[in-house]
Amino acid sequence: MTDWNAMSDAEFRKEVRGFLEAEYPEELRHLPHRPKFAEIEHWHRKLHTKGWVAPAWPAEYGGMGLNAAKLLIFYEEQQRWGVNRGRDMGVQMVGPLIIKFGTQKQKNYWLPRILSCEDIWCQGYSEPGAGSDLANLRTRAEIDGDDFVINGQKIWTTMAHDATHIFMLVRTDPDAPKKQQGISFVLASMDQPGVEVRTITTLSGETEFCEVFFDNARTPRENLVGELNKGWTMAKALLSFERIFIGSPSLAQNALGQLESFARGRGAFDDPVFRDRFAQAALDVEDHAALYSRFADQLKRGETLGADVSMLKIWVTECFQRITELMIEAAGPDGGTVGPLQVGNVSVDVLASFYKARPTTIYGGSNEIQRNILSKAVLGLPD
């Protein structure tokens, strides 16, 4: 077993970069949509053989056991090379949940199946009445003998139509005094009569989001993770690393690179107004990266990140949106045209970028929710 953490940062980066550049399939680089598992299965097999499916998991569970510094490098290199995240809900969310709160039996059973992608997971959090106000969720799980019986509806469930299992927050005690209490974490199979999936067509015409309906669906009681009615606290504990990841500069940096080659091809830089707006966007990206480094350094020193890390997400997602607006501006009369636009030897799908930027200010806690968090937890502003 290699101790990756013992390597220097530079050595480790070289190792990761070398592997990705040699092995990652060219046709999957910078994939504009979220793939079904079949599309990326051959890449997943390579990762699995290499033992690199779960960089953050401890080595004893089949992960790479990377510390925060190495983990950031791993993700930076993935993003740099345009490597698709794959169907990583199992690795990113379910695995850490089970490792932290699961029983030994759950670990033995589920973790290897996540690594091999025998099980493909989707995340059942949001509901029609529980978006930003997630604790308002209503999907019920009632104990019936050895099972939970689940009734209700989840929505915005990413790739549920290509998942074998769902990990979900459900209400197990409707009479709890606070709505954050009485919520539990359960795992369930999607392959049963009481589960129905309908895809949602987005503005960009993609169908990556789904609605999932539960009508007396069942899951064994042993699929409860952690304590009954303690799901909310557990869900929050899972978010610590995600909060810097969701504010990483890569989305905006990639978009800026696309904007630059597209605008150059279109001659947009001849216009001094455009030049200034490009400079503003480019500096917004560069200066965000400086702030990102400050938080990343904190992680590398082994410190826990505070609520102030939310500002990264606000800045980078809004910046990403401004960049895609500039792409549309540079496209001129082609600004409403669907599909790749060819300029010189580059081809840029302006509208795909634009649509991709829209949900970033909505998901992962909308930017308005992030501002609420910052105003309370960081600035100490009163209710």
Catalytic positions, written as ranges: 242
CA 292 to CA 301: how far, in whole Å?
14
For residue 266, what are its two tokens?
Answer: 């279109």
Question: Which of 279, 307, 337, 342 is the binder for other proteins (CB under 8 A)?
Answer: 279
Closest separation in Å from C-beta 1 to other proteins: 28
- The answer to the question of residue 75 lying near other proteins (CB under 8 A) is no
Question: Which of 4, 278, 320, 354 is the binder for other proteins (CB under 8 A)?
Answer: 278
- The answer to the question of residue 10 lying near other proteins (CB under 8 A) is no
- C-alpha dist (Å) from residue 320 to 49, 83, 324: 35, 19, 6
Q: Is 83 helix (H, G, I), strand (E, B) or coil?
A: coil
Question: Which of 21, 60, 287, 303 is the binder for other proteins (CB under 8 A)?
Answer: 287
Closest separation in Å from C-beta 296 to other proteins: 9
Nearer to other proteins, 33 or 264 (CB): 264
Closest separation in Å from C-beta 374 to other proteins: 5
Which residues in 125-234 belong to E strands, given as ranges? 140-144, 147-158, 165-171, 183-189, 195-200, 209-220, 224-225
- The answer to the question of residue 314 lying near other proteins (CB under 8 A) is yes
- The answer to the question of residue 11 lying near other proteins (CB under 8 A) is no
Distance of CA 131 to the CA centre of its chain: 16
Closest separation in Å from C-beta 361 to other proteins: 13
**For other proteins, which stretch binds (CB under 8 A), given 50-58, 134-142, 308-316, 339-347?**
308-316
Nearer to other proteins, 202 or 293 (CB): 293
For residue 335, what are its two tokens?
Answer: 């600004």
The CB density around residue 196, as the number of other CB atoms within 10 Å, is 14
192 CB-near residues (< 8 Å, 6+ apart): 217, 218
- The answer to the question of residue 311 lying near other proteins (CB under 8 A) is yes
Element holding 343 (H helix, E strand): strand 341-343
For residue 230, what are its two tokens?
Answer: 């303690």
Q: Could you tell me if 334 and 363 are in contact, meaning their C-beta atoms sit under 8 angstroms apart?
A: no
**For other proteins, which stretch binds (CB under 8 A), given 79-87, 226-234, 339-347, 374-382?**
374-382
CA atoms 100, 102, 103, 105: torsion sign: negative
- The answer to the question of residue 368 lying near other proteins (CB under 8 A) is yes
- The answer to the question of residue 379 lying near other proteins (CB under 8 A) is yes
- DSSP class of 231: H
Binding site for other proteins (CB under 8 A): 275-276, 278-280, 282-283, 286-288, 290-291, 293-294, 297, 300, 308, 311, 314-315, 368, 371-372, 374-375, 378-383
